[in-house]
């Protein structure tokens, strides 16, 4: 962001407009000094902008903060309670394969972490006004590659982690690793998409994007893990 704003603020006089074309070292040093002064002014302005946004938080009343946050938290609490329904549907499976239940927190935590990384990046860009919707396809392409690589590495790590504690549970380890791969790939796109959708609805993505992503990642992670386990372990 700083680099972009510096380009828009700093005015560089074309060399062709100078009669001597800055051939003398003194002229070059003088021009370099002028540019440094302009850059320092821009950095000072950026610092004031960041400080101003922080001061806005303390200037906001508790009532306003609660009004902004509480509806999200209440709605997400009710939404997250549906996890009990999902796990209840697979109760018999979880009873027979307790290892699957033991690693539910790992699945949902990994999904939330994977989605929060690009989600926070997108939220920051939206809040600062530096998000370029015309480059959305480039963002998707980059995140697709990152998701595939990250998902594969984490899936292998999850497989080894399960076997480290339960060496005989190869099928369960396979189900968990597949769920990790799918979860990471979905969560990364969910993180970016939720930030953009929330912003376009006029809501503050800083209040809604992260908790919504966490809740959805929990539900999707539990569903994926139970569904994959049902397919592999029921065969």
Output the pLDDT for position 190. Answer: 80
pLDDT over 50 (residue 195): yes
Quick one: which of 145, 136, 110, 135 has its CA closest to 193?
136
Weakest-pLDDT range from 15-24, 61-70, 128-137, 184-193 = 15-24
pLDDT over 50 (residue 97): yes
Q: Burial code of 184-204, b = ≥16 C-beta within 10 A, e = fewer?
A: bbbbbbbbbbbbbebbeeebe
Homologous superfamily of the 69-233 domain (CATH): SLC41 divalent cation transporters, integral membrane domain (1.10.357.20)
Output the pLDDT for position 73. Answer: 85
Output the pLDDT for position 133. Answer: 67
Question: What rounded mean pLDDT belongs to the chain?
Answer: 77
Quickly state the pLDDT bin for 152 (edges 50, 70, 90). Answer: very high
Would you list the domain boundaries of the chain?
2-56, 69-233
| pLDDT tens string 34-59 | 777 776 665 555 554 444 456 676 77
Phi, psi of 182 (to 5 degrees): -65, -40
Weakest-pLDDT range from 118-122, 148-152, 168-172, 205-209 = 205-209
């Amino acid at each position: 962001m700083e680099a972009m704003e510096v380009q828009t603020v700093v005015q560089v006089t074309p060399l062709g407009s100078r009669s001597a074309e800055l051939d003398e070292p003194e002229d070059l040093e003088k021009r370099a000094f002028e540019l440094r002064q302009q850059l320092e002014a821009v950095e000072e302005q950026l610092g004031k902008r960041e400080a101003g946004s922080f001061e806005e938080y303390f200037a906001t009343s508790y009532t306003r903060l609660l009004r902004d946050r509480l509806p999200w938290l209440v709605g997400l609490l009710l939404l997250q309670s549906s996890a009990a329904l999902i796990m209840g549907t697979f109760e018999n499976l979880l009873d027979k394969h307790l290892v699957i239940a033991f690693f539910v927190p790992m699945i949902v935590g990994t999904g939330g972490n994977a989605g929060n990384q690009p989600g926070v990046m997108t939220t920051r860009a939206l809040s600062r006004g530096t998000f370029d919707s015309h480059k959305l396809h480039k963002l998707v392409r980059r995140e697709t590659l990152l998701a595939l690589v990250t998902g594969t590495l984490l899936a292998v790590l999850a497989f080894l982690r399960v076997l480290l504690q339960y060496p005989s549970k190869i099928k369960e380890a396979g189900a968990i690793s597949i769920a990790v791969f799918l979860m990471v790939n979905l969560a990364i796109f969910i993180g970016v998409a939720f930030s953009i959708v929330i912003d376009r609805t006029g809501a503050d993505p800083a209040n809604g994007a992260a908790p919504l992503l966490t809740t959805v990642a929990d539900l999707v992670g539990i569903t994926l893990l139970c569904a994959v386990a049902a397919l592999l372990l029921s065969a």
